[in-house]
Structure 1
């Protein structure tokens, strides 16, 4: 194993968190702000990129971190290392209602492709890069599914999905059409493309957008019922339009947005 071998336990049903058990000197990496709680002797450290290129020199670290800019993520990630003498625990919380998916990358031939906001945490040594779609249609019209992350290695990774999660195994040649925001992850052998929704009425008034993600098997696909973009749009749509009625709630959103 090139990655640290970690144990874990997932708690909760709708608002989940994952507790990772670290042996002495074991390390887990996570996005900034994902940590929920940690025990003593677990040391936090901010690093460039995902930590998989820490021995490749400054340029290797810079290139690893720079790839994350294309997915809209921070240049930095946080490591959590057990520097004590016994087993210690650190927990990471889901950012919104949904499910945390544990993925043993060694089971999926060392690579999983997921949406750019889906990654939560992983064993140190897992590489978090970008997966650019080769076809120009997917590039221009893929929406949330255009620039996706790839998780590579032989360790554990944890991915978050919104709402209810559905895992579907596609047979060779089997095709599944999915709303681009509902696609969470897929194995590397799934062929991915963007399909235009036929019919003027469907495109303009269907409420489902103009494009679908077309997934062709063989492979495994994970789909979520509640993309964060859909949840956010419903919340903002429910904000009262009256200045007096909505002033308090709008003030809260302004604070969250940094205005």
Structure 2
């Protein structure tokens, strides 16, 4: 397991003490800073479970000389990540000296969590949650079904994590960890609030009310759309307080105000003060 501390409040970051022999891989754009003895390499594949610098044994699929098989595997993995909207390649980090210092973070203001995988637990996450993991954690893409994905606007493409080691995820706003079994076994959640859940949880999509007057009113004017996510079972669920849709809407609204021109706006400094 990695030695990780979570630092910060409004926008947290993960500080990793990277010992010799340990390898961490992350999404592109999640790196903040490191000590001079930490080496970063960009590769198509995640490291092998061995956790050795360079992606495992010589000639392994994550190494630079993996042959045709390694190249094909890397291309397939990269293709699945691109379908999920993720970066084409992973950044690999290892220390060449003593304990190296490595800092990583998500891309939005919010919290981070370290999940420890024991080889028996599988975690699923929405496609923007992954920050980094150590080499023993396997990253994959899972598909939850076309109808469910198109209906929910979220969840068609999921990230799936198995194996052993530390997994770092991030979300927007604040986290709440909840077990549906403590509340009748089932939760209804805004699709944008779902961050991650373990394999004991079933994920689905349901319509908000019936197709009647009240259902249409809820969907059109309640601000939640026609569908909600459902999370059922006896396991761990991680939710976030800020939805990406709400954040994008707020930024777009205020950006439009700031771009107003003409005598009435008095420039960008007064652009948001006319309501």
Q: Flag the 1:150–1:212 CA change in 2: closer, same or farther, 3 A.
A: same
Q: Does the CA-based 8 Å contact 2:175-2:241 persist in structure 1?
A: yes
Partner of 2:163: 153
Q: Normalising to structure 1: TM-score of the pair?
A: 0.86
1:20 aligns to 2:32 (yes or no): no
| Structure 2 gap segments, 5+ residues each | 49-60, 210-214, 270-275
Deviation of 1:180 after TM superposition, in Å, equals 0.5
Distance (whole Å) between structure 1 residues aligned to residue 220 and residue 247 of structure 2 = 21
Corresponding residue number in structure 2 for 1:178: 189
Compute the displacement of 1:213 (Å).
Answer: 0.4
- Residue 223 of structure 1 corresponds to 239
The alpha-carbon distance between structure 1 residues 246 and 8, as it changes in their structure 2 partners (threshold 3 A), is farther
Alignment of 1:22-41 (within 5 A): 22-41=18-37
Q: Hey, what does 1:139 align to over in structure 2?
A: 149
- 2:207 is matched with 196
CA distance in structure 2 between the partners assigned to 1:91 and 1:168 by the alignment: 28
Residue matched to 1:91 = 103
Provide, for residues 76-119 of structure 1, a one-character-per-residue CA deviation record: whole Å limited to 9, x for no partner. 010111111x1111101232211101100118x33210010010
2:86 alignment partner, SS class = coil
- Check conservation: 1:165, 1:222, Cα contact below 8 A: yes
Number of the residue aligned with 1:252: none
Indicate the RMSD between aligned Cα atoms, in angstroms: 2.1
Q: Which has the larger radius of gyration?
A: 2
Verify the 8 A CA contact 2:45 2:73 in the aligned structure 1: no
